[in-house]
Amino acid sequence: MNDTRFSSDSERARVLLAGTRDTAMKHLSQLLGTRGLHVPVLASAMDRFVKSLVPLPGETACKTGCAWCCHLRVGVSIPEALVIFHEIRAQATAEGLAFLKQRILKTSDRGDILDENFWRRSRCPCPFLDMDGTYHCLIYGLRPFSCRAFHSLDDTACRRGYDLGMQIQVPCFPVYRASVDLYSSVLIQVAAQKGLASFQVGFIRALEILFTDDTAPDRWLKGENVFLSAKIAEFTLD
């Protein structure tokens, strides 16, 4: 076993990820500094981040219609929730918006959607998962970074986690996953540096707030702690 090579590969990955994170933080901080704290500015930053994502380094087991992973809790930064909501509102018809709102509220009514264990045990589908038999994501092009990061090299592991209602280690490309996930952390950290109440939130709870309170985006951008009730507590897995 060549431990020296292993540690040098890990070190290379660590340096690469730190460099990507620092560049993204600098870019976002400068952008918000020059153009101000507004949803379209956050949208433009997110768009740039999505375009800069590295490709998957190899084949995965993921394919359209496979959606065991769309029955798990999704954590996002508040800027992601704001931008995704903003885009949904811009693109959807009035009927489409009403449909999504109703799905989100119905999901929220089912239990404690901030609790990872709720999703695993109830096998509750994400409200954006189309349950018409095709099981595709209704907001695929807009999906959060954690959805973009999640993948598996073995779909039976995903299926087993779903069937057992518990956390199962899913084999993946860890550096790729970390390289996509980091953009959510960058958005959280830079927003906090700008004086905003910034932390990881449950995607669906944050959208519930946005769908039911038109004033939420502006109040958050002015520094109010509007999304406190959507905050994800750390270490919530059983």
Q: Give residue 217's identity as a one-letter amino acid code.
A: P
Binding to ligand SF4 by residue 150, rule CB under 6 A? yes
96-104 own/partner pairs: CB under 8 Å, 24+ apart: 100/127, 100/128, 100/138, 100/211, 101/211, 101/212, 103/127, 103/128, 104/204, 104/207, 104/208, 104/211
The stretch among 5-13, 85-93, 147-155, 184-192 that binds ligand SF4 (CB under 6 A) is: 147-155
Q: Which residue has the tokens 């985006």?
A: 217
State the DSSP H helix or E strand holding residue 111, giving kind and residue range, or none if neither: none
**46 touching ligand SF4, by CB under 6 A:** no
Binding mask 121-140 for ligand SF4 (x = CB under 6 A): -----x-xx-------x-x-
Query: 69, 81, 149, 207: which one contacts ligand SF4 (CB under 6 A)?
Result: 69
181 binds ligand SF4 (CB under 6 A): no
Sequence length of the chain is 238
Helix, strand, or coil here: 75? strand
Least distance from C-beta 135 to ligand SF4, angstroms? 9
Cβ proximity to ligand SF4, 67 vs 196, nearer residue: 67
Binding site for ligand SF4 (CB under 6 A): 61-62, 66, 68-70, 74, 126, 128-129, 137, 139, 143, 147, 150-152, 155, 158
